[in-house]
C-alpha cells in the first residue's frame, strides 16, 4: 500500500521532530513551499534563499551556511525584511492551518515515489 504523508504532518515534523527530520529535506521542504503558496494572496510574498554564511533567523535560531531560509519582500529596505529558518517557517504555517486552505499544487508527500502529489478528495 502506498504511504502518503499529509501537508500538516510534514509541517509538524519539520519543526517539532527536528531530532528525526531535517526541514531542509525535499520531503519536508515541499510542504513549506506549498504552504507559502497557499498563503501568497493573503500574506504577501516570501522568497526562499540559500544562505551564504551562518546567521540568525528572527526567532533567534541559527541559519547555517547552505541552508534554505525565507525572507519577505514587504519593505523596500532589504534589511527590514524578516528572515525565517525553514523549521520556524514550518511552525508558522502549521499554526496558520494552511492545510485547511485550498491546494496550490500538492496535497501529500508520496514516500514511495519520493515526490509531492495531489490526491483528490473523495466526495461524501
**Residue 18: what pLDDT?**
78
Alpha carbons 124 and 122: distance in angstroms, whole number: 6
Please give the chain's pLDDT, 124 residues, in tens: 579 999 999 999 999 987 899 999 999 999 999 999 998 755 567 888 999 999 999 889 999 999 999 988 765 655 667 889 999 999 999 999 999 999 999 999 999 999 999 998 754 5
pTM: 0.86
In the block, cell 504555517 appears at 93
Query: Quick one: which of 114, 116, 92 has its CA closest to 6?
Result: 116
In the block, cell 508520496 appears at 110
Amino acid at each position: 500500500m502506498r504511504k502518503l504523508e499529509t501537508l500538516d504532518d510534514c509541517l509538524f515534523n519539520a519543526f517539532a521532530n527536528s531530532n528525526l527530520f531535517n526541514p531542509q529535506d525535499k520531503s519536508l521542504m515541499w510542504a513549506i513551499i506549498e504552504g507559502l503558496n497557499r498563503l501568497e494572496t493573503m500574506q504577501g510574498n516570501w522568497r526562499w534563499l540559500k544562505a551564504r554564511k551562518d546567521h540568525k533567523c528572527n526567532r533567534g535560531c541559527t541559519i547555517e551556511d547552505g541552508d534554505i531560509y525565507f525572507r519577505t519582500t514587504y519593505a523596500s529596505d532589504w534589511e527590514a525584511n524578516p528572515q525565517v529558518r525553514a523549521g520556524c517557517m514550518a511552525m508558522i504555517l502549521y499554526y496558520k492551518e494552511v492545510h485547511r486552505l485550498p491546494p496550490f499544487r500538492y496535497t501529500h508527500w508520496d514516500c514511495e515515489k519520493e515526490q509531492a502529489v495531489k490526491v483528490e478528495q473523495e466526495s461524501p
